[in-house]
Each structure stands twice: as structure tokens, then as C-alpha cells.
């Protein structure tokens, strides 16, 4: 521990807030000193786990019922310092924003107006392009006393897993397959996981959340750009512009989870617990949340996904009572007389997956293309100097034409265990969640790397992202680093990159809905740089 560790507020004590708090506690010198969470049970459990432990007396500023209460408290705390009070408790240095996606804009804008806090926001940045732009502009004005822009990070955890960091090194620094020609990247969501989150859960409707490409896969689009555009650190060092895409296209729809696919034997049932074929249906809510191996309550699992249905499920000492409570919640349903607002604002985890009000895509493909973009001054790669038949001054080194295809698919056995095929002029790579296999066309050799897996959270990405962000905060707070240096060297992702990857999702959605190929440069200039009329989602 450092003498003056970064002090951190977590806004939102749900699964992501707890994941980041665990990472702060286990992998950084930072300390979680405050939580803002409206749910009393979640707030108490979070505080006992990460802040005050078993202490009966809580320190001032340790918990807030609402993030607005923190804003008010912090304004008052700063006013006390200005008034000359000497017993004012220390504030926080950074905030992790882990509230519902649609709340991100309001929370981040309030934090930036407060000023002086480093911010990490769970993905996605926001649920509409307009909100993303508003946040982008607000973050640019979030400065410290020196006028430096505060450190910002986004929950694009795929950048920070040991697996993907090695893949990027092999691809861009070691150039094990030479210039990349195409990449095919797949995110298998999982047949029952998709129903939990995107048919029955929070992210099932575009109008109340966002397209599934944004809520589920924005960090997949981001990691493709991270691999295929010139990296931020390289650009900063050599003064280059990134190699940006040329066109975006997309296809996809809600293919399966709709009434037309409902088995005839299910009849008019709208809830699993009253359905005549419940015992034989693979999407049975009882099967998924109660009896399923590993993830069901009967397997003594009180974590995800069970605690999403019953947040305080682990507080039940009697498992029979817990089971009855869970079944009671799963039996809840809505009918034709239920107000639409009530339906929209609630999750219906026992609802028939063919009778839900979901409308987001369960299958989508995005295609991104790059044109040749030669940069004659591009430096050579050191390990190739002196080798024969290597054109170290080739103007297209790493910036030749290429294509990336992303596939988000619901009906898979794998749950978020992504896999990628990368094809280059000198070889090909297959990368799954545990290995990276390289076949070299020149030598005929096949090499397999097995990067360490630090943690179940995105292959160590949760730990990696948290570690780098808190390190950046510590370097600024305790070691005299500028925020720009900490942002570039430790977070490794610029604010513009965050904006670009999110904008690309909205661009892809426009391409899908209008069945067209979109010119990326023109779209970005019109909808982001010029702040023109937004195509949708305002």
C-alpha cells in the first residue's frame, strides 16, 4: 500500500460495481471509501465487503442512498475546506460509474460539473449517440487545478486481458503474420444467457435500453479497432493519424425469440410456471434459475444469474424459503390490462421467451473495411532490420486494405467465450478464450501460446482495466505525473477512441436499419464532428 492511496467512490453496487470493487481490493493500491446505491441491501452488503467491514460506526461520507446525495455532500465538504475548517474528512480521487446504462449521462455530467475527479464508466458510455457526444464534450472540460483533463476510462475490458494484450503484441509488434488482410471475430452470447439479459432482462428493449450491439458488443467493436487501427501510444509517439475504416455495413434481426417461433404445444401460456410444456422446454425459467447445474439455486448458487432475480437471495438461511421466494418471483406475469410503463420498467424472468416484449437483435453481423492508407514515413519494425526481402520503407506497412467481420450470435453453447480468426500475408492466427495458435506460411510451423488467465472476469480484463486506471490515478496523485501521460501510458485509450468505437456501433445500426453501406468518414463528420442531425436514438 502507498502512504496516500487513491480513494474511490463506486456509484452502483450491482454486479459490475462489485466486480470492480473486488478488483480494486485485490489488485491495486487504491481503496474503496464510498458507495452510492439506492437498494439498501446491496448498499449494506457492498459496504461490509469493501468499505467498513463489521464496524458498527461508519465514517462520514462512506455511503449514500443516491449519487445526487454524494454530489451534495462533496460540494458541502469542499465548501468547509474553503471556509477554513480543519477537521474535514478527505474526499475521493476517482469514481467508478456502474449504474444502469441509461443513467450514465446524468451521472457523468454531474461528476464533471463537480470537477476534479478521475472517472471510470462501465460500458457502454451511453445509450444514444447524442448522449455519448454530450458526455464526450463534458469529459473534455473535466480538469484539475492545473487545467489538465482528468483521467478517464471506459469498461472496454477486452483490451486489458492478458490474452488480448499478447494477441495484440504478436499481431502489431512482432508481426507474426505480416500485414493483416482480414479478421473474423465472434461473440457467442449463449442460448440461455441471451434470454436472461436480452429477452427477459434489463436490455431486452431498444426503447428502454439500447440495441444489443451496443449493450452487449460495443467492446467487441472496440477491440477490433484497437487491433486494426494504429494504436494510440504509437500515434502519440510518431505524430500519425490513426488508420481509420472506410465503410461500415451490417445485417441482423430478432430472428428467434418471438411469438411466431413459439411451440404449438405451449398453447396460450405466457409464463413458464403455468406452461404445459415447461418440463421439456430448454428455456424454462425454473430450469435456468432453479435446477440448472452450476448456475441454478439448487446447486447452491446465490450469485449471477439468481441474484439478479432476487437481489438478497444470499441472505436466506433456509434454502427451502429461498427456493419458494425465487419461484414466487418467477411466477409473476403481465396481461393485457397491465400498464405499459409497468411492463417496461420491470424485468419478467419467468415470462415465456416467445411471448416477451423484447425487440433487440439476437443475431447480427457487422462488416468494417479499410482502404489503403500509405504513410511513407512509417518507421520500420526493429526485429526486421537486416532481414532479406523485407521492404522496411514500404508505404503500406500495417496500413493496407483489410476487412473485419464481427458476428454476435445468441444460440451457442459457449457463453461469451469469444474466438477470432486473423488472416495475414504471412500466416494466420486462431485465438479463443484460452489459446493463441499461429501458423506461419513461410516456415510451415504452428506455434501455440497459452496466456495466463488471471480471473474469470473477462479473462482477467476486469482486473487489468481496474489496475491500470487506479495506477493512473495514483501516478497523478502521488508521483507527479501529468494526467495526459497517465492516460496515454497506463489507461492506453484516448477519449476520442472511446467516442469512435461507440459511434461506430450507431453507424452500424444505421447501416443495418437502412440496408446500406455507410461511408465512415462522411458519417463521422456529419454526426459527430459537425454535430448534425442525428440519424436515430435521440
66 and 150 share one domain: yes
Residues 295 and 410 in one domain: no
Q: How is residue 137 written as a grid cell?
A: 464534450
Shared domain for 464 and 523, answered yes or no, is no
- Asked whether residue 305 falls in the same domain as residue 327, the answer is yes
Query: d(Cα 437, Cα 83) in Å, to the nearest integer?
Result: 62
Distance CA 509, CA 537 (A): 10
CB 356 within 8 A of CB 199: yes
Question: Higher pLDDT residue, 499 or 239?
Answer: 499
**132: in domain:** yes
E-assigned strands of 140-258? 152-154, 180-188, 247-253
**Grid cell for residue 220:** 467487441
Number of domain units in the chain: 3
- Which position has the grid cell 486494405? 401
What residue numbers bound the domain in which 286 lies?
259-344
Q: Does any domain span residue 131?
A: yes
First vs last C-alpha separation in the chain = 45
Residue 527 inside a domain? The answer is yes
Q: Provide the pLDDT for residue 373.
A: 81
Q: Which of 80, 416, 359 is nearest to 209 (CA)?
A: 359
The predicted structure's pLDDT at residue 538: 34
Average pLDDT over the chain, rounded to an integer: 91
Q: CA–CA separation, 308 vs 14, rounded Å? A: 9
Burial of 39 (0-12, 13-18, 19+ CB in 10 A): middle
Task: Kindly state whether residues 251 and 206 are assigned to the same domain.
Answer: yes
111 within domain boundaries: yes
Q: How far apart are CA 111 and CA 70, in angstroms?
A: 10
pLDDT tens digits for 367-390?
A: 999 998 865 444 444 444 444 444
Q: Is the domain of 225 the same as that of 139? A: no
Q: Which helix (H) or strand (E) holds 495?
A: helix 495-514
Measured CA to CA, the distance from residue 225 to residue 222 in angstroms comes to: 5
We report the CATH number of the domain holding residue 123 as 3.40.50.720
Instruction: Render pLDDT for 427-455 as a digit per residue (tens, 0 to 9).
Output: 999 999 899 999 999 999 999 999 987 76
Residues 369 and 330 in one domain: no
Q: Clarify whether residues 21 and 116 are in a common domain.
A: yes
pLDDT at 380: 44
Strands 118-121, 94-97: pairing kind: parallel
pLDDT of residue 158 exceeding 60, the answer is yes
Residue 449: strand, helix, or coil = strand
Residue 106 lies in a domain: yes
Sign of CA dihedral 230, 236, 240, 244: positive
CA angle, 152 as apex, 526 and 464 as ends, to 5°?
Answer: 120
Between CA 483 and CA 472 the distance in angstroms is 8
Which pairs with CB-CB distance under 8 Å and at least 24 residues apart come from 491-495? 491/151, 491/152, 491/153, 492/159, 492/231, 492/232, 492/233, 492/468, 493/153, 493/154, 493/156, 493/159, 493/226, 493/232, 494/232, 495/136, 495/139, 495/140, 495/149, 495/152
Q: Is residue 22 part of a domain?
A: yes
Q: Do 370 and 506 share a domain, yes or no?
A: yes
Mean pLDDT of 187-214: 96
Q: What is the pLDDT of residues 514-535, one digit of tens each?
A: 999 999 999 999 999 876 444 4
Note the pTM of the prediction, 2 decimals.
0.91
- Looking at the fold, whether 127 and 214 belong to one and the same domain comes out as no
One domain for residues 57 and 140: yes
| Mean pLDDT, rounded, for 211-234 | 86
Query: Torsions phi, psi of 448, nearest 5?
Result: -120, 130
Which CATH number goes with the domain that contains 191? Answer: 3.30.360.10
Residue 390: inside a domain: no
* Residue 168, domain member (yes or no): no
Q: Do residues 263 and 250 share a domain?
A: no
402 vs 525: CA distance, rounded Å: 22
Give the sheet arrangement for strand 152-154, strand by strand: 63-64, 31-36, 7-11, 94-97, 118-121, 152-154
Burial of 485 (0-12, 13-18, 19+ CB in 10 A): middle
Q: Which pLDDT tens digit goes with each residue over 402-431?
A: 999 999 999 999 999 999 999 999 999 999
* Structure confidence at residue 342 (pLDDT): 94
- For 307-350, what is each residue's pLDDT tens digit? 999 999 999 999 999 999 999 999 999 999 999 999 999 999 99
User: Is the CB of residue 94 less than 8 Å from the CB of residue 10?
Assistant: no
C-beta of residue 94 within 8 angstroms of C-beta of residue 474: no
Amino acid at each position: 500500500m502507498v502512504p496516500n492511496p487513491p480513494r474511490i467512490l463506486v456509484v452502483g453496487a450491482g454486479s459490475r460495481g462489485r466486480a470492480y470493487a473486488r478488483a480494486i481490493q485485490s489488485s491495486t493500491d487504491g481503496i474503496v471509501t464510498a458507495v452510492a446505491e439506492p437498494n439498501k441491501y446491496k448498499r449494506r452488503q457492498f459496504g461490509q465487503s469493501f468499505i467498513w467491514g463489521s464496524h458498527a460506526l461508519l465514517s462520514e461520507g462512506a455511503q449514500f442512498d443516491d449519487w445526487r446525495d454524494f454530489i451534495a455532500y462533496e460540494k458541502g465538504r469542499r465548501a468547509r475546506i474553503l471556509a477554513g475548517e480543519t477537521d474535514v474528512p478527505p474526499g475521493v480521487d476517482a469514481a467508478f460509474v456502474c449504474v444502469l446504462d441509461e443513467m450514465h449521462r446524468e451521472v457523468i455530467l454531474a461528476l464533471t460539473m463537480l470537477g476534479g475527479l478521475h472517472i471510470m464508466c462501465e460500458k457502454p458510455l451511453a445509450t444514444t449517440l447524442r448522449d455519448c457526444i454530450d458526455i464526450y464534450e463534458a469529459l473534455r472540460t473535466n480538469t484539475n487545478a492545473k487545467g489538465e483533463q482528468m483521467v478517464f476510462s471506459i469498461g472496454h475490458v477486452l483490451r486489458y486481458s492478458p490474452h488480448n494484450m499478447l494477441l495484440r503484441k504478436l499481431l502489431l509488434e512482432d508481426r507474426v503474420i505480416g500485414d493483416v488482410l482480414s479478421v473474423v471475430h465472434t461473440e457467442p452470447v449463449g442460448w440461455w444467457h441471451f434470454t436472461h439479459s436480452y429477452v427477459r432482462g434489463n436490455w431486452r428493449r431498444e426503447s428502454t435500453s439500447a440495441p444489443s450491439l451496443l449493450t452487449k458488443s460495443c467492446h467487441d467493436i472496440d477491440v477490433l479497432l484497437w487491433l486494426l487501427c494504429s494504436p494510440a501510444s504509437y500515434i502519440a509517439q510518431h505524430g500519425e493519424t490513426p488508420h481509420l475504416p472506410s465503410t461500415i455495413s451490417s445485417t441482423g434481426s430478432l430472428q428467434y425469440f418471438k411469438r411466431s417461433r413459439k411451440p404449438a404445444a405451449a398453447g396460450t401460456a405466457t409464463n413458464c410456471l403455468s406452461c404445459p410444456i415447461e418440463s421439456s422446454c430448454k428455456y424454462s425459467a425454473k430450469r435456468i434459475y432453479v435446477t440448472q447445474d452450476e448456475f441454478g439455486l439448487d446447486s447452491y448458487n446465490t450469485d449471477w444469474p439468481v441474484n439478479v432475480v432476487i437481489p438478497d437471495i444470499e441472505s436466506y438461511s433456509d434454502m427451502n424459503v429461498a427456493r419458494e421466494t425465487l419461484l414466487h418471483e418467477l411466477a409473476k406475469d403481465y396481461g393485457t390490462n397491465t400498464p405499459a410503463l409497468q411492463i417496461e420498467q420491470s424485468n419478467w424472468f419467468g415470462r415465456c421467451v416467445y411471448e416477451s416484449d423484447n425487440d433487440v437483435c439476437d443475431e447480427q453481423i457487422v462488416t468494417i473495411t479499410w482502404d489503403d492508407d500509405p504513410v511513407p514515413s512509417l518507421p520500420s519494425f526493429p526485429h526486421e532490420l537486416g532481414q532479406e526481402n523485407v521492404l522496411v520503407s514500404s508505404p503500406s506497412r500495417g496500413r493496407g486494405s483489410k476487412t473485419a467481420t464481427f458476428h454476435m450470435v445468441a444460440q451457442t453453447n459457449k457463453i461469451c467465450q469469444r474466438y477470432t480468426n486473423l488472416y495475414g500475408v504471412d500466416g494466420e492466427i486462431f485465438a479463443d478464450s484460452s489459446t493463441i495458435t499461429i501458423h506461419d506460411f513461410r516456415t510451415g510451423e504452428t506455434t501455440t501460446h497459452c496466456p495466463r488467465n488471471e480471473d474469470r472476469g473477462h479473462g482477467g480484463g476486469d482486473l487489468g482495466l481496474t489496475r491500470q486506471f487506479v495506477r493512473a490515478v495514483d501516478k497523478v496523485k502521488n508521483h507527479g505525473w501529468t494526467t495526459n501521460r497517465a492516460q496515454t501510458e497506463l489507461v492506453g485509450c484516448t477519449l476520442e477512441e472511446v467516442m469512435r468505437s461507440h459511434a461506430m456501433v450507431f453507424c452500424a445500426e444505421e447501416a443495418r436499419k437502412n440496408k446500406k453501406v455507410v461511408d465512415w468518414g462522411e458519417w463521422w463528420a456529419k454526426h459527430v464532428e459537425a454535430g448534425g442531425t442525428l440519424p436515430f436514438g435521440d
